[in-house]
Amino acid sequence: MSLAILIVLILGILGGIYMPLEVTSFLDQASSYMLLLLLFSVGIDLGLNRQVFLQIRQMGFRILLIPFGVILGSLCGGGICAVLLQMQIKEGLAIASGLGWYSLSGILITEAGNPIGGTISFLSNVFREVITFISIPFLVKYLNSYSAIAPAGATAMDTTLGIISKNTDGKTAIIAFVSGVICTLLVPVLVPLFL
């Protein structure tokens, strides 16, 4: 899947460079409708997991500490990054607020009139997913299984859930899923907050 995404992205970039301006401007505008269709699909997926909302109550509200840590940690990382790169702190926080959900964060920032920030956010969240895949086995080995949920951010409910569950246990996988759902719901709240 990651490979398919990379290929399609490169095709898109080449298309953007070489296709006629009318076509690219149409596709540029079409992206917001694609986003809405995708979000509708994601919404259905979220709703299908009724039992997860029951799990939250069963496990107690301390389960919320995980997404809380993920979000706070991402924002700190984004803030430090903005300082290091001499960018506006707010922009850095918006970029990091993607929490790995690259298809949403990039487009929100781009549509807010910042295509540079949007591109950084998109790429950084793609990289975040790749880093997640690589780092999880090490995090489980050297820290603890909860830490393996952290890099995944919003993707813990879908693309990276498989690798989390493979490297940890059933209970951690459920916590990861819940954390992913909460992060996913908060990305569209957090990103605009910093724009």
Partner 1 sequence: MVKIFFVLGVGFLIGFYGLLKEEQIKLNCRLQTVWLLLLIFCMGVSIGRNGEVIGNLPTLGGKALLFAVLSVIGSVAFVFVLSKYFLKKGEEE
- Between residue 93 and residue 152, which ones bind partner 1 under the rule CB under 8 A? 95-96, 99, 103, 106-107, 110, 115-116, 119-128, 131-132, 135, 139, 143-144, 146-147, 149-151
State whether the Cα torsion 116-122-128-130 is positive or negative.
Answer: negative
180 binds partner 1 (CB under 8 A): no
Phi, psi of 116 (to 5 degrees): -65, -50
Interface with partner 1, residue 42, by CB under 8 A: yes
- Closer by beta carbon to partner 1, 36 or else 166: 36
193 binds partner 1 (CB under 8 A): no
For position 24 contacting partner 1 by CB under 8 A, the verdict is yes
Shortest spacing between CB 171 and partner 1, in angstroms: 8
**Cβ at position 58, least distance to partner 1 in Å:** 9
Q: With binding defined as CB under 8 A, does residue 173 bind partner 1?
A: no
Tell me how far apart the alpha carbons of residues 74 and 95 are, in angstroms, rounded to a whole number. Answer: 10
Which two structure tokens, joined as six digits, stand for 150?
A: 């952290």
| Shortest distance, position 173 Cβ to partner 1, whole Å | 14
Nearer to partner 1, 138 or 166 (CB): 138
**Roughly what angle, to the nearest 10 degrees, separates helices 115-142 and 102-111?**
150
Q: At CA 2, angle to CA 141 and CA 126, rounded to 5?
A: 75
52 binds partner 1 (CB under 8 A): no
Tell me the C-alpha distance between 140 and 27, whole Å. Answer: 42
Is residue 25 within the footprint of partner 1 (CB under 8 A)?
yes
How far is residue 95's CA from residue 93's CA, in Å, rounded to a whole number? 5
Q: Contacts with partner 1: how many residues (CB under 8 A)?
A: 93
Q: Which residues contact 111 (CB under 8 A, 6 or more apart)?
A: 32, 118
| Residues 163/140, Cβ–Cβ less than 8 Å | no
Does residue 8 interact with partner 1 by CB under 8 A?
yes
Per CB under 8 A, 54 contacts partner 1: no
Give least dist CB 52 to partner 1, A.
11
Give me the residue label for tokens 């953007």.
16
Q: Is 69 in the site for partner 1 (CB under 8 A)?
A: yes
Residue 46 binds to partner 1 (criterion: CB under 8 A): yes
Whose tokens are 């707010």? That residue is 90
